[in-house]
Amino acid sequence: MAGTFEVYLDARGKHRFRLKAGNGQIIAVGESYESMAACLGGIESIRKNAAGATLTDLTSQGPNMKHAAKHKAGAGSGMRAS
């Protein structure tokens, strides 16, 4: 079974999405968005970019590099791994 995007309102009334694997496990969660249209745009960006995404392993570069990578990913992709 394919994964599923779920759109919902968070506690602050902002639009968010999560990606669930075929087994129902949450595998990724998006940032909060002001509007449904922006949230759907975030999902479309993931659909467009994820298939060709590369993996960069920064774990051997210490905690400061991991923090920088997390910040950059959060700002650009709107998604974090669960």
The pLDDT score that the predictor gives to residue 76 is 43
Query: What residues make up the domain containing 61?
Result: 4-81
Longest dimension (CA), the chain: 39
Domain count, the chain: 1
**CATH, residue 36:** 3.30.160.160
Q: What does the pLDDT profile of the chain (82 residues) look like in tens digits? A: 789 999 999 999 999 999 999 999 999 999 999 999 999 999 999 999 998 899 999 998 877 654 555 544 443 445 555 5
